[in-house]
Amino acid sequence: MSEKVFTAFYPSTPIWVGDSPQPDLFATGVSIYEAYATEVFTKKTTRFCVKVCRDGQILLRIPDLEARRSLLFRAQSTQNEHQPPAENLFDKSAAIRGEYLALLNIFFLLLDSNRSGADPRPDLGYYEITPRDAFQVLFTPNEKPGAFSESASIHSAERTRLLYGGPSSFIKIPRAKLPISLFEQVTDKFRTVLETEGLVKTLALYAKAVSELKSGGYRTSVVLAWFVIEEVLIYLWQQHLESLDVEYASGRRRMNEKRRKILNDRQFTASVVSNTLEITGVITNELFNTIDRVRGYRNKIVHNDLEFGVDLKVATAALECAGQMIERRWAFKISPNLSVGVSTFHEPFNDTNNL
C-alpha cells in the first residue's frame, strides 16, 4: 500500500472537536500527541478525503491533485539536469499548491459559516490560509500519521502548543468546542461545491474577499467582491442572450456571430448589462439596486476618489451582494460571519520555567 499525503491546517481559533481529553487521560500512559491526533471524523468520496483530529487539525486529500503532483515528480526525476526543462515544473507545482490552498480556504469558510442566527457557536475567526499556515502530513500504510514535511511550517500558534508545557497546560488552553456532526454538514456542502461547475473558482475568490474584510482590508475586499458580482453578471447576460436565440424562417439564427460580438462589446458595461437584466426580469429590482450601489463603490475605489471612505459597512454590503449573486447562479447559500473582532492572545502555559 502506498503512503498517502494530506494537506492540513488549523483553524485560527483553538478548538476541540467532539469531547476534549480529560487531564486524567495522560495518567494512563496516553501521550499528548495521541490525545491530540486522534481522528474523530473521516469522510471519503471519489473526489476528496477529509480527516479531522480532536485538536482541530483538518486534513484534506484530493486524488486528482495528487495524481498531477505524482506526474510532476516523475517528470522531475527523469529530467536531465544538464538540459533546460521542457516545461516549467515549478510553476505547475505551485499551481497545484494554489488549488489546494483554495480548497482549504473554502472548507474553512464553510466551517465558519455553517451556523444560524441563534447559533451560540463561537466565531472561528476565518482568515485566509496561506502557504505559511498549510502543511503536509504523511500517512503510512497502517494509517498512522507520520512526520510533518520539513519544507512546511505548522501554524505558529499550534506549534507553540505542541512544543511547550505539559498535559495540564494543554487542557487549560481556552478552546471552543465543536460537535462532530458539524463536520458532516460541512463536508456535505464541500462535496456540493466540488461537484458544481464553476463554483470552486468563484467561492475561492469570495473567500479571499471575506478574509480581506476580516483583516481590515476593506478596499481590497470590495474590489474582490465586485469581481464575483461581475462574473455572475456576465454569466446571466450570456444565459439571457441564449434564451433569446431563435431560428428564423430563413434558417438564420437571431444570435448570429455579428450580433453576439456587438452585444458583448466593451460598450455593454456592467451598468448597461445589469439595467437590461432588470428591465427584462432576469434579476429583481432589489438585486439590481444592490449591484448598482456596489458598482459605485468599486468605481470610486478604482478611480481613487479621495472623498469616499471605505469602511466595514461598505465592504459588508459588497460581500452580501456577492453572496446573493452566488446564490442566484448556483442556488448555493453561504452566510459568513462578517464581524471584525480584536484578536486576543492566550498564554500557552503559566509556568515560565518550562521555557
Going by C-alpha positions, the residue among 286, 296, 106 that lies closest to residue 190 is 106
My answer on whether 233 and 128 are in the same domain is no
C-alpha cell at 168: 495540564
My answer on whether 305 and 318 are in the same domain is yes
Residue 344 lies in a domain: no
Residue 300 lies in a domain: yes
Residue 210 lies in a domain: yes
Residue 236 lies in a domain: yes
My answer on whether 167 and 187 are in the same domain is yes
My answer on whether 152 and 209 are in the same domain is no
Number of domains in the chain: 2
Residue 263 lies in a domain: yes
Q: Output the DSSP codes for 152-172.
A: S---HHHHHHHHSS-HHHHHH
Print the domain residue range for 285. Answer: 199-330
Tell which of 160, 175, 195 closes a domain: 195
- Spell out the per-residue pLDDT of the chain, length 355, in tens: 356 889 999 998 888 899 887 767 666 776 666 777 788 999 999 999 999 998 899 999 999 999 998 888 777 777 666 555 556 777 888 899 999 999 999 999 999 987 644 455 667 888 999 998 898 888 766 655 544 443 344 444 454 445 444 455 555 667 888 999 999 999 999 999 999 999 999 999 999 999 999 999 999 999 999 999 999 999 999 999 989 888 888 888 888 888 888 888 777 899 999 999 999 999 999 999 999 999 999 999 999 998 899 999 999 999 999 999 999 999 999 989 887 654 444 444 444 444 4
Q: What angle do CA 95, 100, 106 make, to 5 degrees?
A: 125
Residue 337 lies in a domain: no
pTM for the structure as a whole: 0.84
Radius of gyration of the chain (CA): 24
CATH code, domain with 234: 1.20.120
My answer on whether 213 and 186 are in the same domain is no
My answer on whether 173 and 203 are in the same domain is no
